[in-house]
Amino acid sequence: MKKIRSKLGVSAFVLLLSGLICKALGALFRLPLTNLLGIEGIGIFQLVMSLYSFALVLTCGGVTNSLSKLISASRARGEQVKIGIFLGRALFVSLGVGFLLGLLFLLLGRYISAFQGIDAANSYMLFLLLLPLGAGLASLRGFFQGFENMIPTAISQITEQVFKFVFGLLFASIFSKIGISAGVFGAFLGIVLSEIVALMFLFIHFFAKHKKREKPSDLQTIKIARKEFDSANLPLTLSSAILPLVNAFDGLIIIPRLVLGGISNSVATQLYGLQAGVVGAILNFPLIISMAVTTTLLPNISYLISRGTGGRHIIEQGLKILLYLILPTTFGIVAISRQMLALVYPAMTSSMLDVAFNLMLYGGFSIVFTALMQYLIMLLQANGQFRFILLSMILGGIVKASLSFFLSASGSVNIFALVLGNIALSAIVCLLAIWKLKRIVSFAIPFYDFFLLILGTVSMFFMVYTFINCNYFSTIFNIILAVILGVFAYLVLTVPFLLRIKISRPRKAIKVARGT
């Protein structure tokens, strides 16, 4: 058990570090890209990106986690021969779907962009390359993660982001001289090249380390393994597609709905660009933490379940670490967001800065719920509850889409409808997941620990927000001092939590356990 915990900690650290680097590069990519294309241009970029994210999830959304779970479980049972079958099936299915969807966007891209009210047909043509490349990346990353080896995934992600930064900005700068839409095309062309480089790295590593594997000869074993993969991948892909689907739905309807609410087309595109391209890029930064925790825990918990134990201690420790990190990171970013945005986007008007801060504030709650949702879904995945995940995501997606559609045409709500929809979706899925987990797994969430974390987060937020708005020094110095003050305050206020984290849970707890 000590060996598993040690490996878990190393894997989590590797993914967390790579995630931080990737998010930093992603944020750095969007900063100059926004200045190159303008708020309206980044709005067009995000409208195309929302459909790309949806198509990518349909292509390979469940592949990485499916392979990770199935390969780790096969290793635990000594069924090594199935591992190659799982990988082959993953590549066959995801590449096939990717090519078909890419061809569809090639044919219909001009009609989609016309419906959205933007000029982005050329960018949609690149999906024919982007989607199959994404399929290859997802399959090989899932293969390595099934062996609890997170290093290839981390290196490939960093490589992809570095070349995306270089090529994306280079081509966006060159093509933007023609026009905004051409600049968006250049940015996506850079993403294509970055994925090619990352995929080449994974292929080289795979053939260097795993070329010689036992090849199955039993047709019945091959048939069973393929069926296992399809049974895990299909509902997981569909459930993973719900959020990108409703985001794509938002991208299709948001501009016409905002215009219906009395906002001009240009301002509507700017608001969407602000919400999705600027605020979203910064506010999604804390989700690195939940990604690192859930990606690392999935193969470990699946392995333990296959060996006959539910891994209760790892589940509880993982949840505590997630909450301890996600709460202050999210609301710390919110507290300094207005000054930070004013610094990196000097051309942004005061009214836009006010809108951005409010989007950040409400979006902070969405991020926390989303992180918890990802963690609970990981537990359901590890226990094979793929269909329940799908049904929960469908219900949450319907509620989100309804809120986005009806509230976005309201002049008093407008772009905030997207944030409210995100909160509703993640909260619904969290509640349903907790209800289901009560029947299949046992773990406890100490009430006192929750109180300490919430107290520390709230106190830290108001302390940082008050200090940074006093404007004692220059903007940069204010931000630096505010961050230092916030980190120090949170660490001091949560000392009792840190002292209790390895102590057995108290009697008073919010409990998620087997049915009594």
Helix (H, G, I), strand (E, B) or coil at 310: coil
pLDDT at residue number 429: 94
**What one-letter code names the amino acid at 502?**
K
CA 63 to chain centroid: 15
Nearest C-alpha neighbor of 7 from the set 141, 151, 148, 156 = 148
**d(Cα 142, Cα 63) in Å, to the nearest integer?**
7
**d(Cα 47, Cα 303) in Å, to the nearest integer?**
39
- The reported pTM is 0.71
Ordered by start, the domain boundaries in the chain are 2-512
Nearest C-alpha neighbor of 381 from the set 455, 440, 336, 435 = 440
**d(Cα 359, Cα 365) in Å, to the nearest integer?**
10
CA 466 to chain centroid: 31
Cα separations in angstroms, 3 against 8, 382, 400: 8, 20, 42
Question: How many residues are listed for the chain in this entry?
Answer: 516
Beta-bridge partner residues of 510:
445
Residue identified by tokens 């992180």 is 371
H/E element, 511: strand 509-512
pLDDT at residue number 123: 93
pLDDT at residue number 302: 65
Tell me the pLDDT of the chain (516 aa) as tens digits: 444 444 555 655 676 677 677 777 776 787 788 888 888 888 889 889 889 988 998 898 888 888 888 888 888 777 788 888 888 899 999 999 999 999 999 999 999 888 877 888 899 999 999 999 999 999 999 888 888 778 888 899 899 999 999 999 999 999 998 988 999 999 999 999 999 999 999 999 888 876 666 666 677 778 888 888 888 888 778 777 787 888 888 888 888 899 888 898 888 888 888 888 788 878 878 887 777 777 667 666 766 666 655 566 777 778 888 889 899 999 999 999 999 888 877 778 888 889 999 999 999 999 999 999 988 988 887 777 878 988 998 999 999 999 999 999 988 899 999 999 999 999 999 999 989 988 887 776 678 888 999 999 999 999 999 999 888 788 888 999 999 999 999 999 999 888 876 544 443 433 444 433
Could you tell me which residues come within 8 angstroms of residue 366 by beta carbon, excluding any fewer than 6 positions away? 419, 422, 423, 426
pLDDT at residue number 216: 63
DSSP state of 447: H
CA 4 to chain centroid: 26
